[in-house]
Amino acid sequence: MNRDFTAQWKEKKCPICGKRFLYHVGWVYKIGSADHLKIFCSWGCLRKFENRHPAAIDRRKMIIDRLKAGEDVKSVAKDLGEDYSKVAYWAKRIEEGKV
């Protein structure tokens, strides 16, 4: 049984630290879906990415909490780096009593 061992390994540059590394296609530190996959050189770099880019549910909670605290849509969008229309959507939902 002669398998091509090199076909299982690929080279990549870590989006956090910039280090070039080899990863095995079946065992890799990754996050995202097939069309938006990010691959990292280590668990530490994966965690750094997660800390810098909170999940959508966490971002939504931050938006809602700040809007309920009385902040205006424009400042929330700017401070959190979110799209104005997304923040305005949640402001409207709060106003309608649906959140």
pLDDT value for 5: 57
pLDDT value for 4: 59
pLDDT value for 11: 94
Element (H, E) at 3: none
The Cα–Cα gap between 64 and 87 comes to 8
pLDDT value for 36: 84
DSSP annotation of 32 reads S
Number of other residues whose CB lies within 10 A of the CB of residue 75? 11
Question: Dihedrals φ, ψ of 13, to 5°?
Answer: -105, 130
Average pLDDT, whole number, for the chain?
A: 90
- By percentage, how much of the chain surpasses pLDDT 70? 93
Residue spans of the domains in the chain: they are 5-52, 56-95
Strands (E), 1-99: 9-13, 20-24, 29-31, 38-40
**Segments of the chain scoring below 70 in pLDDT:** 1-7
